[in-house]
């Protein structure tokens, strides 16, 4: 995904949000139902795993948000956990870390020797704008992450399933957005639309690794850059 395409997609999403919100605000039916439609304070959210929150924490507040997941393949189960641990340093500025753990269960080979530590990410997020009911501007934040190669990735010997990391230092910059729509039943639909770009350093690799190398390999891997665009509705 090129940067130009990512920007175009973001612009389209914001335009869509503006048009829907404008329609809600100017509709006579919507105005008549304002009194009994769901309040933002009454909405409970589960939080999507792959679409991080565009909001920041109030100053002095902690958030610990754990997830457990299972990536199911033809002959494997990649069981893992990911936890957001965030702290509101300022009302507009949140810092935190994202530790990961995993275990690979293999049907036709050796599973992981045990639960292992994956790569750990630290992050900082600054809120540029805050959504207000009746306005079209979404909550918008700029996020920077640095991922450290704490997970095992090479010299895996006879257990490739022990590979839980990438071996690369990775810097990610992202733009997060979040807005709300009131549906005809007066309940809230929350939308998130996020863009990110990651830059990974080269990795020294020895032996069996997550990059598919064999036991005699000694060299380097180049993870390179990656773009990610995702949207979610809840």
Q: What distance lies between CA 114 and its chain's CA centroid?
A: 26
pLDDT at 46: 79
Q: Specify burial of residue 55 (Cβ count, 10 A radius: 0-12, 13-18, 19+).
A: middle
Average pLDDT score over residue span 44-66? 90
Each residue's pLDDT tens digit, 160-193: 999 999 999 999 999 999 999 999 999 999 999 9
- The most confident of the ranges 41-45, 70-74, 170-174, 230-234 is 170-174
Under 8 Å between Cβ of 220 and 206: no
- Rounded CA gap, 55 and 52, in Å? 9
- Rounded CA gap, 103 and 70, in Å? 9
Tell me the β-bridge partners of 116.
102
Q: Give, in order, the Cα–Cα distances in Å from 80 to each of 13, 16, 83, 102, 172.
A: 32, 35, 10, 4, 21
Average pLDDT score over residue span 23-42? 64
Each residue's pLDDT tens digit, 114-160: 999 999 999 999 999 999 988 899 999 999 999 999 999 999 999 99
């Amino acid at each position: 995904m090129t940067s130009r395409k990512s920007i175009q997609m973001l612009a389209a999403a914001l335009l869509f949000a503006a048009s829907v919100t404008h329609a809600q605000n100017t509709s006579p039916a919507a105005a008549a139902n304002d009194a009994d439609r769901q309040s933002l304070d009454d909405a409970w959210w589960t939080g999507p795993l792959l679409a991080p929150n565009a909001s920041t924490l109030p100053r002095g507040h902690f958030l610990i948000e754990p997830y457990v997941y299972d990536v199911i393949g033809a002959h494997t189960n990649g069981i893992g956990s990911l936890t957001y641990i965030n702290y509101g340093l300022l009302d507009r500025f949140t810092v935190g870390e994202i530790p990961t753990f995993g275990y690979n269960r293999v049907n036709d080979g050796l599973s992981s020797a045990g639960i292992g530590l994956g790569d750990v990410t630290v992050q900082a997020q600054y809120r540029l704008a805050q959504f207000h009911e009746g306005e079209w501007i979404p909550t918008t934040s700029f996020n920077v992450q640095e991922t450290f190669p704490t997970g095992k990735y090479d010299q895996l010997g006879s257990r490739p399933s022990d590979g839980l990391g990438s071996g690369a230092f990775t810097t990610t910059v992202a733009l997060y957005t979040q807005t709300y729509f009131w549906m005809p039943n007066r309940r809230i639909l929350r939308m998130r639309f996020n863009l990110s770009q990651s830059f990974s350093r080269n990795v020294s690799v020895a032996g069996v690794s997550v990059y598919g190398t064999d036991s005699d390999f000694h060299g380097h891997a180049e993870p390179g850059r990656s773009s990610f665009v995702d949207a979610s509705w809840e």
